[in-house]
Amino acid sequence: MTVVDTDRIDMADISDELTLDEMFEWLEPTPEGFKVEIVEGTVHMSPQRDTHWEIIRRIVRALEDRFGMDVRALSDVRMDFGEGNGFAPDVMKLSDKAAKNSHGRWLPEHVEFVAEVISKGTAAADYGPKKAAYAAAGVPVFLIVDPYVGRCLLHSEPKDGDYHKKLVVDFGLDVDLTGTSMDLVLKTDAFPRD
């Protein structure tokens, strides 16, 4: 069963008996211009938008400015965050010591930073299950960028499956990450809004 929406295509929950690899294989090929993720066993297909990409590009550029062109900054690359969670974060920064596992995938314990740019159809997953999965995996810094309300939410200090520090920053103001492992200031004044 497939439900079509202008912002996303959600598919019915897929059997718990399938592994993430089997689920992703079953979904191939992904239509061009769409991002596929599995959140708590549910498949989400989201079309990429200009606003979404513009914010991602600015975040990646900030990482390159701070850490150099060889920074391990990835976008829309699959990473598994626990059972039933095959995410493709909008932006993630890996540690310098990061290496792929025997299946050719990066490991969550090497993620230093994740940024998710909200889409209407996937907002609930970004604010809820994905945030919980990132905290449980110990991702030190998780940034939610919401172009619909013009606001960033910075989550840090993961412990016991939750983030214990939260900072809300409106677009136009700087997101100060100097007190985190990222040690940079992210400018949001040019972030577009939807």
CA dihedral (120, 41, 3, 35) positive or negative: positive
pLDDT of residue 137: 95
pLDDT of residue 5: 40
Residue segments in the chain with a per-residue pLDDT below the cut of 50 = 1-16
pLDDT of residue 95: 95
**Residue 173 and residue 17: Cα distance in Å, rounded?**
46
Q: Which two tokens stand for residue 7?
A: 């912002």
Residues 6+ apart with CB under 8 A from 183: 66, 177
Q: How far is CA 147 from CA 42, 54, 131, in A?
A: 24, 11, 18
Q: Which two tokens stand for residue 40?
A: 């708590």
**SS3 of residue 169 by DSSP:** strand
110 contacts 95 by C-beta, under 8 angstroms: yes
pLDDT of residue 41: 72
pLDDT of residue 6: 39
**What backbone torsions phi and psi does residue 105 show, to the nearest 5 degrees?**
-115, 150
pLDDT of residue 164: 96
Beta bridge partners of 113: 93, 141
**Residue 164 and residue 168: Cα distance in Å, rounded?**
13
